[in-house]
Amino acid sequence: MSKKPAITGLTAETLRWLHATMVRIRRLEEKVAGLLAPEPEIRCPVHLYIGQEAVAAGVCAGLRREDYVLSTHRSHGHYIAKGGGVRELLAELYGRASGCSRGKGGSMHLASPGVGLPGSCAIVAGTVPVAVGAALAFTIQKKDNVSVAFFGDGAANEGVFYESLNFASLKKLPVVFVCENNFYSTHMPVDECLANVDIYKKAEAFCLPGVRVDGSDAIEVYRAAK
């Protein structure tokens, strides 16, 4: 009787966590989508994370609570994967004081420092330098913490993205840059606004390692991030 092949290097606990986290994010986003139409109950602008669950889960599975994650306008998945509560997130979307940002951030500005998500930002590439700054602070404080900058392919159009790569490399900072490339910068295909769409290769210019993985494969993402 043949046995099922083992997934080398991953424990059953890690596999269960990856699966449960992706399902939790997907179910949450489906619920939120239902609250937006046909008559919206939620009044703040909302950008769903559906389809990118494996990235948030795969990256955050390798992080500790004290490590930092800086998020984008699509922040729900990062918040959940980092340990944020669903009840607190929904309260935030309704603008309630019991929300994770006390009802003042809404969907695009989630914050929960207690779980290692100090903030999110709707400005394209806005949190990339913040993640670098956090990594610099960790180094100055002689901590072994890591910060993660999540950003989309559109952020590769912003000058601060390249400045952040340069400074992180120059100071040898503990920061991981994670590009969630969905091939669209808002409504424009990425190949219509970037001369070189191999975004991961841009790290080479700053003497940083860059890898491209299948963002729908949580195990591959986890291994690369770890």
Token duo for residue 42? 């939620």
Angle (nearest 5°) at CA 43 between 38 and 47: 80
> What angle, 0 to 180 degrees and rounded to 10, lies between the N-to-C axes of helices 12-36 and 218-225?
120
pLDDT of residue 7: 61
Confidence at residue 193, expressed as pLDDT on a 0 to 100 scale: 86
Amino acid at 172: K
Q: Give the residue extent of every domain in the chain.
A: 12-225
Phi-psi region of 144 (alpha: psi -120 to 50; beta: other; left: phi over 0): alpha
> What are the tens digits of pLDDT across the range 69-118?
999 999 999 999 999 999 999 999 999 999 999 999 999 999 999 999 99
Give the chain's mean pLDDT: 94
Q: Does residue 215 register a pLDDT over 60? A: yes
Please list, in sequence order, all residues whose beta carbon lies within 8 angstroms of the beta carbon of residue 219, skipping any fewer than 6 positions away.
Answer: 7, 10, 15, 18, 58
Architecture of domain 12-225: 3-Layer(aba) Sandwich (3.40)
pLDDT at 122: 93
pLDDT of 181 over the 50 cut: yes
Residue 223 pLDDT more than 90? yes
Work out the percent of the chain whose per-residue pLDDT is above 90. Answer: 86
On the question of pLDDT at 204 being above 90, the answer is yes
